[in-house]
Amino acid sequence: MPETALPGRRAQAARNDVVILDAARQVFLVDPKAPIAHVAERAGVGISALYRRYPSKEVLLCRLCHDGLRRFITEAEAAAEEPDGWAALTGFLRRIVDADVHSLTVHLAGLFTPTPEMGEDARRANELARGLVARAHESGRLRRDAVPEDIGMILECCAAIRVEDPERTTQLRRRYLALLIEGLAADGGPDLPGPPPRPGEMNGRWRPS
């Protein structure tokens, strides 16, 4: 029962499923508080098509956010397979930055009440990130004073880069990620200033206002 082979109206519906999700990602990535009408417009559908699928904006936001989180986990698990701990960490960062996943999970947080399942996935993501940093440390190529919480911050930095053209955005983000990774490499430079980020220090975003 391949979805793409469905005829007529159902085919349109199936196509709309993905078109709407794509549009929502693009729109809310640029402006997390964008009105839902923008999503419909971008998708080239009416508002009804949205409300047929999601009972409210909050649910759509939650779905988007959770998808991003799952992508994060998937990439982290893939990176865990890479034998070289340093390559695992840097490759992981590159893929997450390319996928623009950080904005989805983080900048949308606080706009909806998270499901318990998301909380669990968030914990799992944390655990995986911790493992990646630990293995990078073992490889000896990661500077000694780097901590797992640095990952989220570095992703935050990269997510801040954004220009009109999405492809150009990716290029530029790679540039500054490369800069950060260069800094992350243990080259015997001075220790980083100030106390490192603590676990949970960035969690202020998660409770709904």
Partner DNA sequence: TCAGAGCGGAACGATCCGTTCCAGTGCTAA
Partner DNA sequence: TTAGCACTGGAACGGATCGTTCCGCTCTGA
Site residues, a second copy (CB under 8 A): 153-154, 156-161, 163-164, 168, 171-172, 174-176, 178-185, 187, 189, 192-197, 201-202, 204
Nearest approach in angstroms of CB 64 to a second copy is 20
Integer Cα distance of 8 and 122 in angstroms: 40
Smallest gap from residue 41 Cβ to DNA (A)? 8
User: Residue 155 half-sphere exposure, CB side, CA atoms within 13 Å?
Assistant: 27
Q: Does 205 bind DNA (CB under 7 A)?
A: no
Amino acid at 102: H
Q: Which does 160 bind (CB under 5 to 8 A by kind): DNA, a second copy, none?
A: a second copy
Number of residues written out for the chain:
209
Sign of the Cα pseudo-torsion (17, 23, 27, 29, in order): positive
What's the CA gap between 22 and 160, in Å, rounded?
A: 21
Distance CA 48, CA 76 (A): 37
Per-residue binder mask for DNA (CB under 7 A), 7-46, x = binder: xxxx-xx--x----------------xxxxx--x---xxx
Q: Considering CB under 7 A, how many residues would be counted as binding DNA?
A: 26
Q: Which does 116 bind (CB under 5 to 8 A by kind): a second copy, DNA, none?
A: none
Q: Compare residues 31 and 138 and give the one whose CB is closer to DNA.
A: 31
Query: In terms of Cα–Cα distance, which of 209, 198, 32, 206 is closest to 122?
Result: 206
Binding residues vs DNA (CB under 7 A): 6-10, 12-13, 16, 33-37, 40, 44-49, 51-52, 55-58
